[in-house]
A and B are shown apart, each in its own frame.
Chain A
Amino acid sequence: MKASDDLKQRVKSLIVRQLKLEIDPATIRDEAPLFGDASEGLGLDSIDALELVLGMEKEFGIKVQDEEVGVKAFASVDALCAFIRQKAA
């Protein structure tokens, strides 16, 4: 398994675990929007965003400083992985 795939799986598992979602992490599409319309993606909201921020800090040691950064970073699994790689670089 490639490192990028491994990171995506960790991120998807984190989303499911942190938000207590009753879905298989593998069903989350890499490019699907995490927030907004549930028919397009997961339909998360601001309360979920805060839980993800706390989960990111616990799992990856990465702090999301403000809402503007968070909105971009949490756009999708792909965006979240890019954000993590950027912070780790």
Chain B
Amino acid sequence: MRFEPLPHAYPFRFADRTVERTGPGAGRVRAVVSAGGRGVSGGIFPGALLGELMAQAALLVSGADPDLGRSGFLAGFSDLTVARPALPGDVLTIDIAVAGRMGPAVKFDASVRDAGGVRVASGSFTVRRGESAPEGRA
């Protein structure tokens, strides 16, 4: 499988490649959960890492958007629902859409589905462009 460039490396690289870009910062990404590395403990890919997967997917589909660029950081989740943890062998599809933008901040909506189309997780999160967090933010 072809991996697109991301700042993230093994074992914290979760999103594999863009399947489709539907607009600036929007599209579909594929990820295959493997048994080794990837922060997997006891064979389970936990919900918090599904959140990180969504953020990496947003970064991948944003690669085609010069406004968004590739530098920035995950500022936080305002919503994250995990229907089930992902397991090794799961082929996940992550749909990403931009919910809104203001200045350096971009909010994304994301959903993760398994190969059968069943929702694994969904959430909304904000990415802030730039090298550092605003004062008072981790």
Q: A interface vs B, CB < 8 Å?
A: 38, 43, 45-47, 49-51, 53-54, 57, 64, 67, 70
Instruction: Please state if A45 and B134 are interface contacts (CB–CB under 8 Å).
Output: yes
CB distance from B134 to the nearest CB of A (A): 4
Q: What does DSSP make chain B's interface, helix, strand, loop or mixed?
A: strand
CB-based contact B78/A45 at 8 Å: no
A51 CA to B136 CA in the complex, in Å?
A: 17
Q: In the bound complex, what is the Cα–Cα distance between A1 and B71 (angstroms)?
A: 48
Asked if B99 and A46 sit within 8 Å, CB to CB, the answer is no
In the complex, what distance in Å separates the CA atom of A49 from the CA atom of B134?
12
Say how far A39's CB is from chain B's closest CB, in angstroms: 12
Tell me if B75 counts as interface (CB < 8 A to partner A). yes
Taking A46-B105, A47-B134 as given, write out 20 further A-B residue pairs in contact, using a Cβ cutoff of 8 Å, ordered by the A residue number: A45-B134, A45-B135, A45-B137, A46-B102, A46-B103, A47-B75, A47-B128, A49-B105, A50-B101, A50-B102, A50-B105, A51-B78, A51-B107, A53-B100, A54-B99, A54-B100, A54-B107, A64-B102, A67-B102, A67-B103
